[in-house]
Amino acid sequence: MITQQDRKTNTRLFTAPIILCLLALSSSSAIAASATSADSTSSWSLVITLLVLAATAGSAVLNVAAIRHWDRNWGLVSGLPLLGLLLWGALIVVSKQFDASAHELWALEIFAWAMINLIYMVTAMTAKRMFAKRDGEESASS
């Protein structure tokens, strides 16, 4: 019999690769261009692209886990950065379609989101823990 915990564990195992694949699809033209070119600059571009996508997926998985495990309001707080990533990614893809020279540093933009998201999530986790501790102390003293 499969328990609820087993289902959550199985879901978590597949979340990171799915997010990574979605991000890779959004930048598939850059990856394809890097993979087909033979010079070393393109190889480094491919390595950097993969590192950025891995860091972004790792950062996004933290949000997804928080959405799944936190109660409703805190889950919404943890989901806001994912909405920001979705909108920013859409903006990058659309502007690249209109002007190939737009968002030349898109990898830096996405990586910056991942790092800012980590700071945001640490702050949210700390605030959640502080509020839970305060609520526990108030209920114990009542």
* Count of domains forming the chain: 1
- For residue 3, what is the DSSP state? -
- φ, ψ of residue 27 in degrees (nearest 5): -120, 30
Give the pLDDT score at 31.
53
Neighbours of 85 (CB within 10 A): 20
Residue 50 Cα to chain centre, angstroms = 14
Give the pLDDT score at 117.
93
Give the pLDDT score at 141.
77
Give the residue among 93, 68, 63 at the shortest CA–CA distance from 80. Answer: 63
Give the pLDDT score at 116.
94
Looking at the chain, which runs of residues are DSSP E strands?
A: none
Q: Supply the pTM of this predicted model.
A: 0.66
Contact 64, 121 (CB under 8 A): no
Residue by residue, pLDDT tens for the chain (142 residues) are: 556 565 555 555 555 555 555 555 555 555 555 545 556 678 888 888 899 989 999 999 999 999 888 888 888 898 899 999 999 989 989 998 998 888 888 888 899 999 999 999 999 999 999 998 888 888 877 6
Instruction: Give the pair of three-digit tokens for residue 50.
Output: 């993969």
Go through 98-125 and write b for each residue having 16 or more CB atoms within 10 A of its CB, e for each that does not: eeeeebeebbeebbebbeebeebbeebe
Range of the structural domain that residue 109 is part of: 4-141
Give the pLDDT score at 75.
86
Give the pLDDT score at 15.
59
- φ, ψ of residue 112 in degrees (nearest 5): -60, -40
Give the pLDDT score at 113.
92
Give the pLDDT score at 72.
82
